[in-house]
Amino acid sequence: MRHVLLTIMIALTELVVSTNQDITAGQVVTAAPGSNVTLGCSFPVRETLSLDHLIVTWQRGTVVVHSFYRGKDQLEKQSRAYKGRTSLSADQLETGNASLSLHGVQADDHGKYSCHVVSESWENSKDLHLLVAAPYDAPEMAVHVGCESINVTLTSAQGFPEPTIVWKGGLSQSNATTVELDGTGRYKVESVMSLSSKETQTVSVEMTLDVLRQTFKRSITLHPPPACCLIAEHRTGFPVFGVICLFIAVLLLGCVIVIRKKAC
């Protein structure tokens, strides 16, 4: 049987978060996996507008996302990837709004979309980019201490796509990062750094999601345990700890006998 006595002092810096993104209005739309998103498209309305003579086509490259003509949705040529996930509003079309509603956003929906609106006397087009991404939750840190090593673990979730994680400093022995998709199509992330516990050291970690310019930084100062006591077993198989306990029990019994004799 082994008994370990360990203490550790940890100093954490405050979390630093930077979330920034350069987006030109109307050109980039960001949506998280599993969410619903509206891709905006508008056109000038004439008094003579008739939905029966209006053609609206949404495409991603050469892929047909949604079509509307002859006064109703025409989905025969719609890609299977978008079946049951898109909609246009006829009432909104009458006001010059050809925006597309996309439901249950998927990672493969990422890319450039084109909206084409054509009538008998004019046509209008618009391109935009759908960025499928989601910011990560602020990461949590945990420390597990052993006599020979210390494991520092960073965990975060609800983000997409995979982040970049970089560990720096410390007497590194190894590090490993694992990612797992949850039910919404977003990632759970766990990264573990294994360090030697023999001396004071500072280790830092940076997690970055480039597409959203999101960055988390943490640093931890670890001090070696003041004591790491392993009580080994005796070669005969009888634990040394048992011998010590027996000795203490005999000593206490002797004290009780002496006290009783004095009381008499």
Cβ neighbours around 109 below 10 Å, total: 20
Q: State the average pLDDT over residues 178-183.
A: 95
Segment 197-228, tens digit of pLDDT: 888 889 999 999 999 999 999 998 988 876 65
User: How much is the average pLDDT of 144-165?
Assistant: 92
DSSP 5: -
- For residue 59, the model assigns a pLDDT of 97
Longest dimension (CA), the chain: 121
For residues 171, 217, 108 and 21, what is the CA-based torsion angle, rounded to 10 degrees?
-150
* 141 has a pLDDT exceeding 50: yes
Q: How would DSSP label each residue in 149-173?
A: EEEEEEEEEEEBSPPEEEEEES-EE
Residue 250's pLDDT band (cuts 50, 70, 90)? low
Report all structural domains of the chain as residue ranges with CATH numbers, in order of start: 27-132 (2.60.40.10), 137-226 (2.60.40.10)
pLDDT value for 19: 37
Mean pLDDT in residue range 165-186: 90
Q: What is the pLDDT of residue 253?
A: 52
pLDDT at 244: 54
Neighbouring residues of 42: CB distance < 8 A, sequence distance ≥ 6: 96, 97, 98, 99, 126
Give me the pLDDT at residue 109, please: 97
Under the banding of pLDDT at 50, 70 and 90, the label for residue 146 is confident
What count of Cα atoms within 13 Å lies in the side-chain half-sphere of residue 135?
12
pLDDT at 145 (0 to 100): 86
Top pLDDT among 9 and 89 is at 89
Q: Is the pLDDT of residue 21 over 50?
A: no
